[in-house]
Every structure is written in structure tokens, then in C-alpha cells.
Amino acid sequence: MKKTTIIILILILAIAAIVFSQMRNNGGEADTPSLSSESSEAESKAALEKIIKSPERAAVSAAVAETDLTETYVNEAYRFSIKYPAKLNVSSFESADGSGYVILIADLQTGYGVQIFISPYADSSDVTAERIRQDVPGITIKNPQEVLLGQTGKGVAFTDGTGVTANRQVWFASKGQLYQLTAPMDFDDTLRRMLDTWIFM
């Protein structure tokens, strides 16, 4: 587990939302924001806060909360499935640095949803808050709770901050892979419903 991975987890939904917002405002063209400086991170956070507080985001959040989990995402490579609301879309791709695989289940306009980041995990021990703090010094972990996904995925759920930009993170390991789920806190109820449907095949 590397700090660079954490940065990807925390910011990738913000990037997606910013890009989609720029595309809408610029007639379909968008410049991907740079993450090479602290100012860029601050700009990304400010843009994310604006999106989170927007009427469009509020409308999507309310609609998703009231929608049944009628769709099923199946990943044959990692052999798992999870149900999700039909109002969300699924996309997946290899991470830019080749360290893992990214799955986004989110609204295309606002980036509202959950990211699943999958990477190799050779350690046989369970994922715990203590282990994460050891491997990723400086990470914020609030209210950690043990979780069990699909009968074999043991790990921990926690929040990574405070305020509107705080995320719910769920980390667990299964069959040699580390799964890191990241979602905004107002997605929490939907995320819980989705995780209850997670099945390893």
C-alpha cells in the first residue's frame, strides 16, 4: 500500500466530476486537472466542494437513494459481482501507473458514486486500521469498523476526514487482492446496500 495510491483514491472521483463538469461547460472538451502541486490539490478540492453543494448533485443523491439495486456488475477477472442502482454508470480501466485496476460506479455528470481500486496483496494478514496506518503514515482514519465482504473479504471501514469532502473508505483483502472502496459520505446508505450484495464467485 503506497501513499500515491491513497492520493488516487481520494482525488479520482473529484477529477472525474471536474472533467465532466468542464466538458458540459466547454462544449464537450475538457482539460484534465494537474495533481503535481499543492495548489492543484487545493483547486481540485474547491471544485469538488462546489459540485457537492450543487443542485445537480443534490438531485442525483436523492434519486439514487430512492432507487432499487436493479443492475449487476460482474467482473470475471477478479471473480466478483455487486448490484447497483440503474441511475449510475459503470466504467473501468487500468490505473495510470499500472499498479491496479479501477472501477467507477457513478453518475457521469457529477461523479457521484463509488470507486473500487484493486491491487495485488501478497500479505496473508487481514486489513486493519493499524496495518493501514503502518503502511500509509499520515492517513486520516476515523471511526474504524471491521467488515466482512462476500464471506471471504475481511477488512475495515472508516472515514478519511471531516466536512463535505470526507469520504467513506472500505478496505479489504481476498484471494491475493486488496480492494479499496471510496465514496462520499452522502453515498453511505447506498454503499451499504450495495456491499450487502457483494458476492465472490
Specify the 3-state DSSP secondary structure of 53. Answer: coil
Q: How far is CA 16 from the centre of its chain?
A: 11
Q: What type of residue sits at position 134?
A: Q
Amino acid 22: pLDDT: 42
Q: What angle do CA 16, 116, 47 make, to 5 degrees?
A: 25
CA separation for the pair 17, 22 (Å, rounded): 9
Residues 6+ positions from 45 with CB-CB distance below 8 Å:
14, 165
CA separation for the pair 121, 190 (Å, rounded): 27
Cβ atoms 75, 54 nearer than 8 A:
no
**Structure-derived torsion over alpha carbons of residues 40, 43, 44, 48, reported in degrees to the nearest 10:** 170
Fold entry, domain 3-200: Protein Transport Mog1p; Chain A (3.40.1000)
CA separation for the pair 76, 120 (Å, rounded): 16
The domain spans of the chain are 3-200
Residues 6+ positions from 88 with CB-CB distance below 8 Å:
64, 71, 105, 106, 107, 113
Pick the closest to residue 18 from 36, 1, 5, 30 (CA basis).
30
Blockwise average pLDDT, block size 10, the chain, 201 residues: 44 46 44 49 69 77 88 95 94 88 90 92 85 89 86 83 84 90 91 92 83
E strand spans, 27-160:
71-75, 80-84, 89-94, 101-106, 113-120, 142-149, 153-159
